[in-house]
Structure 1
Amino acid sequence: MSSFKILWVILIILTHQALFANGMHYGKKLVPALYAFGDSSIDPGNNNNLNTPAKANAYPYGIDFNNCSTGRYSNGKTFADLIAISLGLPMPPPYLSLSETERYQLATGINYASGSCGILNSTKSGECLSLDKQIEYFTSTVKNDLPRTIHSKTKLRHYLATSIYLISIGPNDYMLNYLNPMGPNNILNPQEYANYLLEQLASRMKRIYDLGARKFVINSIGPIGCIPANVIRTQHSQDCNEDINEKIKPYSDKLPGKLKHLQTQLSGSLFSYLDSYNFFMKIRKSPEKFGFSNIWDSCIEGGKACENRKEYYFFDAAHNTEAATKIFADECFNGLKLCFPHNIKKLVHAH
């Protein structure tokens, strides 16, 4: 083999290695970066570094993620991972896994999400990165790390304004807070609590906006009365806990109006929200149309994962399988039935 051919083979191998090291993305980069904030729905392993029982860094988690338990609460990729890939970006790594050097060298996005956390600082199980703490870390990213890579203030403003900011949080503010008999906020009625949560969320989104963010994707709260941990089971039937659903639904109902109002206050901002409550109910009504044979049970039983994971909606007692998450990610990115008023593809090109 000639020296030219040898050099060409080596170049191909190195190129493929680089692509795999950066999240196996082969598409055109549609935005500069994806920054993610939230809870266990998109935590890629931040909680591995915290003193908390809320961890997913052991088998069978990650069984379909190169059979590696990274800390994702799934058999495979999370919603943030899949959206990043669709955007032509590497999957944003967990902030707490990055060295100081890696933090300022990384300009394609970071994931600050932390399992068991919520919108409120009082929502947690053990140690976690509160949403306030996540924004504190993002502030450091914007003010200390990115300027070491993006030296022009004008270019940095454009970078931040055209990147995507994903926020997936809120269920724990019900499960670990409002629905907890010892929770500090359960004196409020469901409407009042939803209003309070949304005010707290809006104030935190404004802080992210003030740092330069403009394009937001916000997940609503799905019907958590239907997760396996909360399903009401009898000898002959199983059904969602509608008492829980009725308490959390006001949040999802009020979220679109809150975001619309916030958009009028924050010049140049754009918000897309995931109507995960109603979209989940569509899947539950006709699961076979979406490829599911089981929408009631956890795929994990006796510490082992089921073999037909693509037919299960839930991987554990509260979190989706990658198969279910992929339906949401594909629909939110390209479709018309989940994310409003723009899907993510349209949000990318919106001004």
Structure 2
Amino acid sequence: MERFHLNNATFACIIFLFLLLFSSSNNNNNICEAKCFKSIISFGDSLTDTGNIFNLSEKSECWLKPYGETFFHQPTGRCSDGRLIIDFIAESLGLPLVPPYIGRENVTSINFRQGVNFAVAGATALNQSILEENGIHNPQTNVSLGTQLTWFREMLSTLCQSTSECKDFLKNSLILFGEIGGNDYNFPFLFGTPTQMVQSMVPLVINTIGQVINEVIELGAETIIVPGNLPIGFKSAIVACCGKGPNQPCRPNDHVCDDPSTFVSWDGLHPTEAAYKWIAQGLISGPFAIPHINGLCNFRVSTI
């Protein structure tokens, strides 16, 4: 795999993931035995959040039943019936499930050496002030990608005592950037913002994400996954397993389908664990990432 130079010999291996609709694969070789990464660091929104939103706001339905019923058998703050893509990647690398950064008393900087998740459900790429200037309100959280970058810098200050130590830590970490940016469009559309105005925001959203990625690279990150759009598929890509329809989260008394694994949509807003697993397998073993994570591990081991 080739590496390219950025900013005075800062190396970066950015995997652009075009998550398109492919035929389902039966390839179960999703274990990267090389354990080539020592940590996973994640930024993003509800597609990646493993509990930050609950610790920031008790209004989150993702901490209520039936969320989490499939794998954890209880709510964990994940906005799905079970595991997310980040969970399957962690499992494939032999790492523990990535803990949320906010609010867990038993999570210390020592735990963060194997992974930390800054993603927050409802988070946007753009700062809230920019959204408000354009008449857009985020009803869920005021956390943006910039907020998560600030947390990331704070976390680094507790983990390493020098710039070189931080660079070494990040060099051996897999960085997941999202999905992030979808809510910058979801919220405007939800409140009736004209399509033309939403389209005008696209370059600003992209530039914001790019700037944060560059800052993380400058700090020492070498391997970054930047997701694209989610695919569709499964038995039903429109009908949700739980909830009352689009933009309506699943609540404790709502009817839940008998078999979430046959649905792509869990609650009309978020995929099911089965959908996340399908996507994760495509990232870990291909074809949704070039190089796929297993292939990337093989490359890293061969160059050590």
Structure 1 residue aligned with 2:207: 199
TM superposition shift of 1:294: 2.0
Structure 1 residue aligned with 2:43: 37
1:136 pairs with 147, 150, 155, which one? 150
Contact 1:45 1:71 in 2 (8 A): yes
Distance in 2, matches of 1:96 and 1:323, equals 27
TM superposition shift of 1:189: 6.6
Structure 2 residue aligned with 1:300: 242
Structure 2 residue aligned with 1:325: 276
TM-score normalised according to structure 2 size: 0.75
Higher helix share: 1
TM superposition shift of 1:74: 0.5
TM superposition shift of 1:64: 1.3
TM superposition shift of 1:89: 0.6
Contact 2:166 2:219 in 1 (8 A): no
TM superposition shift of 1:158: 2.3
Q: 1:315 to 1:119 in 2, by over 3 A?
A: same
TM superposition shift of 1:53: 3.6
Distance in 1, matches of 2:162 and 2:171, equals 14
Contact 1:52 1:128 in 2 (8 A): no
Q: 1:179 to 1:293 in 2, by over 3 A?
A: closer
Structure 1 residue aligned with 2:92: 86
Residue 167 of structure 2 corresponds to residue 157 of structure 1: yes
Segments of 5+ residues of structure 1 without an aligned counterpart are 1-24, 223-279, 284-291
Structure 2 residue aligned with 1:167: 177
Segments of 5+ residues of structure 2 without an aligned counterpart are 1-30, 132-137, 244-252
Structure 1 residue aligned with 2:220: 212
Contact 2:32 2:92 in 1 (8 A): no
Contact 1:95 1:110 in 2 (8 A): yes
- If you compute each CA radius of gyration, which structure gives the higher value, 1 or 2? 1
Contact 2:65 2:75 in 1 (8 A): yes
Distance in 1, matches of 2:88 and 2:228, equals 18
TM-score normalised according to structure 1 size: 0.65
1:48-197 equivalences in 2 (<5 Å): 48-51=54-57, 53-99=59-105, 102-122=108-128, 124-143=138-157, 145-147=158-160, 154-168=164-178, 169-177=180-188, 180-181=191-192, 188=197, 190=199, 192-197=200-205
Contact 2:261 2:272 in 1 (8 A): yes
State, as a whole percentage, how many aligned pairs show the same letter: 27
What value does the CA root-mean-square deviation take over the aligned residues? 2.6
TM superposition shift of 1:40: 0.3
1:262-301 equivalences in 2 (<5 Å): 280-281=231-232, 283=233, 292-301=234-243
TM superposition shift of 1:99: 3.5
TM superposition shift of 1:167: 1.2
Distance in 2, matches of 1:294 and 1:313, equals 6
Structure 1 residue aligned with 2:3: none
Contact 2:101 2:116 in 1 (8 A): yes
Distance in 2, matches of 1:70 and 1:100, equals 15
| Aligned residues between the structures | 252
Q: 1:212 to 1:55 in 2, by over 3 A?
A: farther
